Structure 1
Amino acid sequence: MEKIHNCVIIGSGPAGYSSAIYAARAGLYPILFSGFQPGGQLTTTSMIDNYLGFPKGISGNDFMDNCRKQAKRFNTKIINKSVTKVSFSTEKKGIHYIFLNKESIIKSIGVIIATGSSPKFLGIDNEKRLIGLGISFCATCDGFFHRNKDIAVVGGGDSALEEANYLSNICRKVYLLVRKDYLRASKILQNRIFSKKNIYILYNSNVIEIIGNDFLESIKILNNKNKTKNIISISGLFIAIGHIPNTSIFKNELELNKNGYIITKKGRTMTNKPGIFAAGDVQDYIYRQAITSAGSGCMAALDLERYLSS
């Protein structure tokens, strides 16, 4: 008879590995599928300086490698494959089906989803090549490296203005590049930005070229109203045009919000299906930090353990 597992984890960022460690220590013998980007977004971060316990900082790759090794130490079975389809039961203690392909199917009573989210890109040359070398999607993560330097933020919504506001307290100049001739962000955030003397808002502006060899050096901007072009020398470009939760395979299985994030019970990790839990950026569109993802991974494992023993 085919084995039915207690815990399958989909995703291998801080939330996935954290849940694996807690589930393994609870004797649930978790299986973790690392997905298309083993280690998640942090593998594209050159240095993590704000995670508790690393006074000298640690590279994103080294941090995630440590997480993987720690999960393996507690006998987590890590499989470097992607889940292509799921079929979740609506019954309490029902069996959930996880498909790797048409022939390979895993059965489990409990599933923790930690597939994270992916940032939206501008889609221009050098953008992906210079991630971690001046290109960033997180001011809280990487702003420190640009202290007293000039940087730019792309976007006109709440996220972009929050990034710009945070960076204005660290950086010398902050250019806020807005594609339209108005800001979409809430009025309170707009007023906060307008009051900052070192934030310069450039409306009708598109980044058309990212310039730099080993590091970001400057960007070329096109004013889409008067068609003029301008080059700005900056050390950092923070792209804040949104994230896409990696939930495409769960659309017909779980309750999602209007932006595609998995909806969980307030303050917990339970979804609308019994035995299915979500942790990290796949359900958190507010904080999106490694440490909060790891914390929610712990919560998911504890919630699953209680579910199995109830």
Structure 2
Amino acid sequence: MTVHTTRMLIIGSGPAGLSAAIYGARAGMEPIVVQGLQPGGQLTITTDVENYPGFRDVIQGPWLMQEMQAQAEHVGTRMIWDTILSVDLTSGPPFRAVGDSGDVYEGETLVIATGAQAKWLGVPGEQELGGKGVSACATCDGFFYRGKKVVVIGGGNTAVEEALYLTNHSQDVTLIHRRNTLRAEKILQDRLEANPHVSTLWHKKVERFLHDETTGALRGLLLVDTITGKESEFAAEGAFVAIGHAPATELFKGQLELDDSGYIVVQPGTPKTAIPGVFACGDVMDHTYRQAVTAAGTGCMAALDAERFVGEREFEAVKLAAQAG
């Protein structure tokens, strides 16, 4: 067993975690990033990225994350490939985490950037057509379906918001829901009903995503009526699964305040949790925007706040020592 100590321990290596690492390293915090099960986060499974500032042409998600990691390492971040199994936030600082390797990590500050995963339907064709017509983020990928026929699957706020957003790009948007009523807020339902470019298919469950034999891209969906059991095909060039996200917060249950959906609660407008010295950034605390650029922004904020936290502690220590002397 090895004990790794640092002024800034970062769990998670997506845009939020790596941005925190870049800022932390440049401030002399000598951060350690524990990369987790999916180094680089969700962008490593995203092909075309067209909305990250600074790049005129489309870039690839894995390439972007490789560059961010290289930048973080260049300025002094230590990257460790391990998966955290448990954390102890009750007695810190230092805050303690134990990895799958058996190694222990101790940080004077802790930055949580474990992210969130989109919930998927788990039906045939969904995984194979990811990036080829099937997506879980209209804000990320809607632009690629300009003028095309698209569907959104779900019935909550996210589904309705994504359907409305897609009308910026398509005049043929269909919301598919397995029930006959939506869970979305009434004001969103009213906006949906008033939009002439959105229609709704009720009592329909997606059984399979269908691909085009020639192009390999999505050509439609096989639907099942939840009342009659009758199957039907529905043609579409884009399908957006909007049944929610699952934040990776299992490690922190009982130690940090989580909201009803499992996201870490932070002080409004900051990455600060209820525990001084513990910060949360990116999708693990953001259930509204969920973009790489906003995750990077909150990662920057977490690093700056962590630096201030350490500086204040060191100043207090020096002052107490002077008084004692």
TM-score tier (shorter):
over 0.9
Whole-angstrom CA distance in 1 between matches of 2:4 and 2:238: 50
CA deviation after TM superposition for structure 1 residue 211, in Å: 1.1
**Range that drifts further, 75-84 or 239-248:** 75-84
CA deviation after TM superposition for structure 1 residue 3, in Å: 5.8
Secondary structure of the equivalent of 2:28?
coil
Give ranges in structure 2 of 5+ residues lacking alignment: 313-325
Secondary structure of the equivalent of 1:124?
coil
| 1:100 counterpart letter in structure 2 | G
CA deviation after TM superposition for structure 1 residue 90, in Å: 4.7
Moved >3 Å (runs of 4+)? 1-4
Whole-angstrom CA distance in 1 between matches of 2:290 and 2:267: 18
After superposition, give the CA deviation of every residue in 1:52-99 in whole Å (9 maximum; x if it has no partner).
1111121111111111111111121111211111011355xx221110
Secondary structure of the equivalent of 1:86?
strand
The TM-score normalised by the length of structure 2 is: 0.92
Give the match for residue 94 of structure 2: 95
Whole-angstrom CA distance in 2 between matches of 1:146 and 1:206: 23
Whole-angstrom CA distance in 2 between matches of 1:75 and 1:4: 15
| 2:260 counterpart letter in structure 1 | K
Give the match for residue 228 of structure 1: 230
CA deviation after TM superposition for structure 1 residue 263, in Å: 0.7
- Is residue 291 of structure 1 aligned with residue 293 of structure 2? yes
- Is residue 172 of structure 1 aligned with residue 174 of structure 2? no
Give the match for residue 68 of structure 1: 69
Asked whether the 8 Å contact 1:84–1:249 carries over to 2, the reply is: yes
**Range that drifts further, 277-286 or 47-56:** 47-56
Secondary structure of the equivalent of 2:217?
coil
1:219-258 to structure 2, matched below 5 A, reads 219-258=221-260
Pair 1:189–1:106, CA change in 2 (3 A): same
Task: Give the percent of matched residue pairs that are identical in Structure 1 and Structure 2.
Answer: 42
1:259-278 to structure 2, matched below 5 A, reads 259-278=261-280
Pair 1:3–1:154, CA change in 2 (3 A): closer
Give the match for residue 195 of structure 1: 194
After superposition, give the CA deviation of every residue in 1:83-126 in whole Å (9 maximum; x if it has no partner).
111011355xx221110048311111111000000111101112
The TM-score normalised by the length of structure 1 is: 0.96
| 2:245 counterpart letter in structure 1 | H
Pair 1:59–1:262, CA change in 2 (3 A): same
| 1:168 counterpart letter in structure 2 | T
Pair 1:38–1:245, CA change in 2 (3 A): same
Pair 1:178–1:7, CA change in 2 (3 A): same
Whole-angstrom CA distance in 2 between matches of 1:2 and 1:79: 12
CA deviation after TM superposition for structure 1 residue 39, in Å: 1.1
Pair 1:63–1:117, CA change in 2 (3 A): same
Asked whether the 8 Å contact 1:46–1:133 carries over to 2, the reply is: no
Give ranges in structure 1 of 5+ residues lacking alignment: none
Asked whether the 8 Å contact 1:84–1:100 carries over to 2, the reply is: yes
How many pairs does the alignment contain?
A: 308
1:1-310 to structure 2, matched below 5 A, reads 4-90=5-91, 94-101=93-100, 103-212=102-211, 214-310=216-312
Whole-angstrom CA distance in 2 between matches of 1:89 and 1:305: 21
Secondary structure of the equivalent of 2:240?
strand
After superposition, give the CA deviation of every residue in 1:241-294 in whole Å (9 maximum; x if it has no partner).
000000011112211112111111111111111211000000001111111100
Secondary structure of the equivalent of 2:233?
strand
Asked whether the 8 Å contact 2:83–2:100 carries over to 1, the reply is: no
Secondary structure of the equivalent of 2:229?
coil
Secondary structure of the equivalent of 2:59?
coil
Larger radius of gyration: 2
| 2:171 counterpart letter in structure 1 | R
Asked whether the 8 Å contact 1:90–1:273 carries over to 2, the reply is: no
Asked whether the 8 Å contact 2:4–2:104 carries over to 1, the reply is: no
| 1:22 counterpart letter in structure 2 | Y
Asked whether the 8 Å contact 1:112–1:277 carries over to 2, the reply is: yes
After superposition, give the CA deviation of every residue in 1:202-235 in whole Å (9 maximum; x if it has no partner).
0111000111163222111111112222111211
Asked whether the 8 Å contact 1:90–1:274 carries over to 2, the reply is: no
Whole-angstrom CA distance in 2 between matches of 1:42 and 1:221: 30
Whole-angstrom CA distance in 2 between matches of 1:159 and 1:141: 14
Give the match for residue 322 of structure 2: none
| 2:110 counterpart letter in structure 1 | V
